[in-house]
A and B are shown apart, each in its own frame.
Chain A
Amino acid sequence: NAGVMQNPRHLVRRRGQEARLRCSPMKGHSHVYWYRQLPEEGLKFMVYLQKENIIDESGMPKERFSAEFPKEGPSILRIQQVVRGDSAAYFCASSPNRGTYNEQFFGPGTRLTVL
């Protein structure tokens, strides 16, 4: 069973461009979470999605950031008009729905560099 897959692993964008980060959850997992880790800082929750629904977006910046998890295909984290402060490692995690406890499985991350 393949783990959580993220691509690209490294992404370089110039200021003002768009960044699209993709996450394929583990097989059978219908819950996806996105986290951001700024340089030398801890991980911060961004958004939690189930198939076709956003469950909790309390950690998402109000502007330029959006996320989706369509019925078919990977989850996408989209950052419009990137700025240097968006440079960070973005991690995706997935979990099954097993009741009151859900272990999260993390991908290797996408390292975004904004020039």
Chain B
Amino acid sequence: DAKTTQPNSMESNEEEPVHLPCNHSTISGTDYIHWYRQLPSQGPEYVIHGLTSNVNNRMASLAIAEDRKSSTLILHRATLRDAAVYYCILPGLGNTGTASKLTFGTGTRLQVTL
């Protein structure tokens, strides 16, 4: 799997936007960019994924650089419930031709304060 680099931690005030960066300079042309998050004492939770174009869903937006060597997860209005560790992952394709295991790095620990 291609390597990703994220800041160890970030802070945000509640109801403000949060931009979580991820560098993936060795990304290949077929690598999707996935984001998961893990709230305290819970299992990871899928957030969003994309390939080339920017993506939006009810949880977040994903902005992908034109050269695809970096991406940014955007939480438009952070709440206390968004405090979690956010993981940027490029799972690649397994030997069955489909995405398989996820390789979690250290992620970014997001703190949200009132």
Interface positions of A (Cβ within 8 A of B) = 4, 33, 35, 42-45, 48, 55-56, 58-59, 91, 93, 97, 99-109
- Nearest Cβ on chain A to B2's Cβ, whole angstroms: 15
The interface residues of chain B lying within 8 Å CB-to-CB of A44 are 104
Given contacts A48-B94, A55-B96, contact A108 B42 (CB under 8 A): yes
Most B Cβ at <10 Å: residue of A33, A45, A97: A45
B45 near A100: Cβ-Cβ < 8 Å: no
Q: Among the listed B30, B46, B106, B107, which residue makes an inter-chain contact with A103, where contact means beta carbons less than 8 Å apart? A: B46
User: Could you give, for residues 30-50 of chain B, a 1 whenever the CB lies within 8 Å of some chain A CB and a 0 otherwise?
Assistant: 101010101000111110010
Q: Does B76 contact A (CB under 8 A)?
A: no
Task: Please name the residue on chain A nearest to B48 by beta carbon.
Answer: A103
List which B17-64 residues lie within 8 A (CB) of chain A. 30, 32, 34, 36, 38, 42-46, 49
Interface positions of B (Cβ within 8 A of A) = 30, 32, 34, 36, 38, 42-46, 49, 93-107
Q: Among the listed B38, B46, B98, which residue makes an inter-chain contact with A100, where contact means beta carbons less than 8 Å apart? A: B98
A100 near B44: Cβ-Cβ < 8 Å: no
The interface residues of chain B lying within 8 Å CB-to-CB of A33 are 100-102
B101 near A45: Cβ-Cβ < 8 Å: yes
A105 near B105: Cβ-Cβ < 8 Å: no
Bound state CA distance, A48 and B91, in angstroms? 13
Most B Cβ at <10 Å: residue of A4, A44, A100, A108: A100
The interface residues of chain B lying within 8 Å CB-to-CB of A106 are 43-45
